[in-house]
Structure 1
Amino acid sequence: MAARCAGRALSRAARSVINAEYNRAARSQTVQRLTCTAAPGSSSSGQDADRLKAVQFADAEVQDILNRITGLDLNKVFQPVKQELKPPKYRLLTDTQLEEAAHKAGTQAKKLLKMPPVLPERKPIEEVLCEDKMLEGMDKAKYVFTDITYNIPHRERFIVVREPSGTLRKASWEERDRLLQVYFPKNERKLTPPPMFKEENLKVHALTYEDIEKNGKYNLLWSTRLFGGLVWHLISSQRIDGLLSDMLQRDRVHDAESLVHLFNLAHPQSDSALQAQQQQASGLELLKIYADCECQRPGFIKLALQVYEQTKTQSSA
């Protein structure tokens, strides 16, 4: 009987603490939103960080630029895979049917070139809400409290954990994933992540990009669905000099301009972005500004631009 009364008292105390913490968190979020929208002219470091995070891989403008840079080489997209040899099939087509077949092949190639998504790594949740020493040692198990309201996005859903030590903290990402699958199950979603999401496997794509950057083999991924991820990786680490030089060597000047434009979008506080915005630069001027402000090898890029301008002048004369 005494244990049951103690359990009821513990449950009531936990509910009251959860309600108080939930209300306080909701008020703090409201205050933060009002504060962010009420100070458009401030230049704090927090707002600078928000501006730096404004451009994401999945943004429409970013995807449009990456798709243009990726290119569309039908011979490379549809190159034969080494399989069992089969005799080729020949068809007689009219000009109209040939145009329709080419359009269909282009549409299929764009589907094959669709880039895998790239998401920023989520930071661990280590926020402690309160520590109640009165509840320390009352139970050996953890208590998890989940808001199961249906109209709340899962990213904003309030989930907290009461430790046996009396500490009340926010649930970690792993705990949130398990609990969300329990209360809001999705078909084919597993509680145990697939092996591809293990730490050692997540490093594979980054190591591959680093090896391509080291050896300058950018054309291996050009016109493949992985080229956009390579470009975004190099832009995020502010190391596009090698790729920019490779584009200029292959006479992909427009791709080079798009690359610098995307760099300025991803790093709006860089010298290149600020100078380009101040001068309202576009086209070759973007490349010249980048060569002066950010490039580690400006001589090569400037020389390539001079050759391109001379060739363009001679061809138009």
Structure 2
Amino acid sequence: FISPKVQMLLSKITGFNINKIFSPKQVSVTESPKYKLVTDEQLRELQEGSLKGANKLLQMPPYKKPWNIHNNDELIISNDQQIAHFEMDDSTYVFTDISPGIPRRDRMLVVRDKEGVLRRCNREESDKILMLYYPQEGKMYNMPQMFQPQQLEVLLGKHQYEYVLNVACVQFEPDDPNYTRVTERTFEHVLQSGQFEVLRFTRFYGSMVFYFLIHNKIDLLLAHQLSQNRLDDAVSLVQLYHIIHPYCKSVAICKGEDAKDNYQLIQVSFF
């Protein structure tokens, strides 16, 4: 996913539409528009700044494997049975390093269980504890109800894909299993509904395409691109497929004389 060539091709497929990038969003408070009188040079500077801001908004969320709370994250530091259930105290104690300047995910967080075990916190516990000490704007301590399966399906049925994914990026870390569950279910719903254009020109389009690629589910997307006469995007999609699946049969075929140009690459690969 972080390969420069893969990122370049995903960005190319995503496309750039400044009107959609800066389209009106739902906000709790409506602010009055602001007007400025500027010179032509100042206008060009503002336009260049808008383009830079648009490219920043198109930066794709990182793609990571979800953490596993059952792995060796719970590293036991000590096991002191002499203090187990000390004086009938069944509380669990949490010790947090709150020293300034330490990256969020590098802080030492340990738990003393009521059984006397002192251990490192697992990822799920760490996320909860850090929310208490270092709350993040927009992130709730408990998972919002909108991410429960039933409520999620209601939003997806309304094609609120970008809204769901934006909130998921705020609420979850990229390797949180819930983030993986929500994003993959959203991408699957897009695939089933064929509403690929809803996410086009957004930062999630490339992530969705990458998901389809690694799971061998690009046929419908490729057909959609061809139906929209976006041949360059279709070629980029096939090139990405060959990068991610270098040993597939079409790679060997395309190295032959039958694939003499990019458009024949599609025909040779999938038809």
Distance 2:145 2:63 in 1: 15
Residue 248 (1) aligns with residue 197 (2): no
User: Could you tell me which of 118, 125, 137 is aligned with 1:168?
Assistant: 118
Q: Tell whether 2:170 aligns with 1:192.
A: no
CA distance in structure 2 between the partners assigned to 1:68 and 1:224 by the alignment: 12
Q: Which amino acid aligns with 1:136?
A: A
Looking at structure 1, the residues matched to 24 and 91 of structure 2 have their Cα atoms a distance apart, in angstroms, of 58
> What is the alpha-carbon distance in structure 1 between the residues aligned to residue 100 and residue 7 of structure 2?
32
| 2:205 matches 1:261 | no
Paired with 2:193 and 2:131, the residues of 1 have a C-alpha distance of: 44
RMSD between aligned alpha carbons? 4.8
1:202-241 alpha-carbon deviations (Å, 9 max, x no partner)? 6665444323323434344434454323313312423112
Residue identity matched to 2:84: E
What is the correspondence of 1:31-180 to structure 2 with a 5 Å cutoff? 55-56=1-2, 61-73=5-17, 107=51, 110=54, 114=58, 117-120=61-64, 122-126=66-70, 127=72, 128=74, 129=76, 131-138=79-86, 139-148=89-98, 150=100, 152-180=102-130
In structure 2, do the counterparts of structure 1 residues 156 and 68 end up closer, same or farther at CA, with 3 Å as the change threshold? same
Kept in 2, the 8 Å contact 1:74–1:109? The answer is no
If the length of structure 2 is used for normalisation, what is the TM-score?
0.56
Q: Deviations over 1:133-166 (max 9, x none)?
A: 3333224121323345555433233322121112
Residue 247 and residue 109 in structure 1: after superposition, are their counterparts in 2 closer, same or farther (change >3 A)?
Answer: farther
Q: Does the CA contact (< 8 Å) of 2:13 and 2:236 recur in 1?
A: yes
**Number of equivalent positions:** 217
Secondary structure (helix, strand or coil) at the match of 2:118 reads strand
Q: Which has the larger radius of gyration?
A: 1
The separation in 1 between residues aligned to 2:194 and 2:231, in whole angstroms, is: 18
Structure 1 match to 2:194: 216
* Paired amino acid for 1:145: F
| Whole-angstrom CA distance in 1 between matches of 2:261 and 2:50 | 28
Q: Tell me by how many angstroms 1:171 deviates.
A: 0.9
1:248, distance to aligned residue in structure 2 (A): 3.2
Task: State the alpha-carbon separation in 2 of the partners of residues 161 and 109 from structure 1.
Answer: 42
| Equivalent position to 2:208, from 230, 237, 250 | 230
Instruction: Name structure 2 gaps, 5 residues minimum.
Output: 26-39, 153-167, 169-180
Distance 2:83 2:208 in 1: 51
Percent identical residues: 29
Give the structure 2 partner of residue 271 of structure 1.
247
Larger helix percent: 1
Q: Relative contact order, CA 8 A, sep 6+: which one is greater? A: 2
Contact 1:161 1:169 in 2 (8 A): yes
Q: What is the Cα deviation at residue 195 of structure 1?
A: 2.1
